[in-house]
Structure 1
C-alpha cells in the first residue's frame, strides 16, 4: 500500500459486514486501511453497550479508537459529536441503513482513483502537512485572548 494514498477509515458495525450502528451507541468500530487498489482490516474495537442519554463523556473511548482515521461511517451521529470529530480531523459520514462495508470501501477506492471529493482531498492534504504545535504561540505572545 502506498502511504500517500492509504487512508484509515472506520465503520460503526455490529456484524462486521454492514454499517448498522449510531456513532454514540456503536458496539464496535472496524478500522480499515484503504488505498486505490486494496484494503485490509487493521483493527476492531469493541465497546460496552451505551444508552444514548446525551452524556458526552462516554464518547472519549470512541474518539480514541478513531486515532489515525480520516472518517467514520455510521447510521447517525449527534451534532456535538460531529463537531468533536471534525475538530480531530475525522469526517463523519452518514450512510443509508445497512450499507455494506465492502461497497463503501469500493466506492472510496473509486474516488481515490478518479480524484478525491473535497472532504477526502482535505483529509489527504492534512495528513501530509505536519501539525504545527506552536501555531498559537504568536497569538499568545501578542496578548491574544477571547
Structure 2
C-alpha cells in the first residue's frame, strides 16, 4: 500500500497548481483498491512569476512595464508580499507520508522541496481524471511500469522480512544440501 496525493479542487480531476492548491486529497492505494485517506483545505495562495497562470490553461505574457508597476501604481517593494513558498511548507507536511503528488503544475522550487522530502512530483494535464491515475498506480503496484511506484515499494519493504521468512520455515544455507562441495 502506498499513499498518493492529488491537487484537486473538485475532487474528481487534477485541476490545481501544487503551490497554489486550495485542496489536497490523499488516497491509500492497494492493488485493485483506492480509498480516500485524508483531505485538507488551504487558503488561497497568490502565485508569482511568469508561469503563475499556466495551470489555468493559458500563458501570461508580461511587459517590462507590467512587472515594474502593479494596477494600483505602487512600487512592487511596497506591495504586501504573499509568499506561495510559505504555503508549500504546510502542504509538504500534510502529504509527508505520500510517495507522490499529482498536480496540473509544480514550480521548480516546490519540485526540489518535494524530492528532498522523498515525495515524487508528477505533473499531468489539467483536468486529468483522478480515477484513471489511481487505476494506473494500482496496476503498477502489481505489474510495475511506474518507476516511482517501484521505488516507493522498495523503500517500504520491512527490514525484518528476512527474519520473518526464516520463522515461516524458509530454507537456509545450512539446511540445504549442496550436491557439490
Any unmatched runs of 5+ in structure 1?
1-5, 131-146
Where do 5+ consecutive residues of structure 2 fail to align?
50-82, 160-181
CA deviation map 1:40-95 (0-9, x unaligned): 00110000001013732221110111021000000000111101101111001001
> The residue matched to 2:27 in structure 1 has which SS?
strand
Rounded to whole Å, the distance in 2 between the matches of 1:14 and 1:37 is 25
Structure 1 residue ranges (4+ consecutive) displaced by more than 3 angstroms after TM superposition:
none
- CA distance in 1: counterparts of 2:155 and 2:145, whole angstroms: 14
Shift in Å at residue 127 of structure 1? Answer: 2.5
Q: Which residue of 1 aligns with 2:10?
A: 15
Cα distance in 1 between the residues matched to 2:23 and 2:39: 7
Aligned to 1:136: none
Q: Give yes or no for the alignment of 1:100 onto 2:129.
A: yes
Query: Is 1:19–1:74's contact at 8 Å kept on the other side of the alignment?
Result: yes
SS at match of 2:6: strand
Q: Which residue does 1:45 correspond to in 2?
A: 40
| SS state at 1:92 partner | strand
TM value normalised by structure 1: 0.80
Alignment of 1:99-118 (within 5 A): 99-118=128-147
- SS of residue paired to 1:128: coil
Partner residue in 2 for 1:125: 154
Structure number, greater radius of gyration: 2
**CA drift at 1:24:** 0.3
State the distance in 1 between where 2:113 and 2:137 align. Answer: 23
Cα deviations by residue, 1:9-48 (Å, 9 ceiling, x for unpaired): 0000000000000000001001000011211001100000
Partner of 1:59 in structure 2? 88
Contact 1:26–1:49 under 8 Å retained in 2:
yes
- Aligned residue pairs: how many? 125
1:33 is aligned to 2:28: yes
Alpha-carbon displacement from aligned partner over 1:104-146 (angstroms, at most 9, x marks no partner): 101111111212432221122123367xxxxxxxxxxxxxxxx
Q: Secondary structure at the match of 1:111?
A: helix
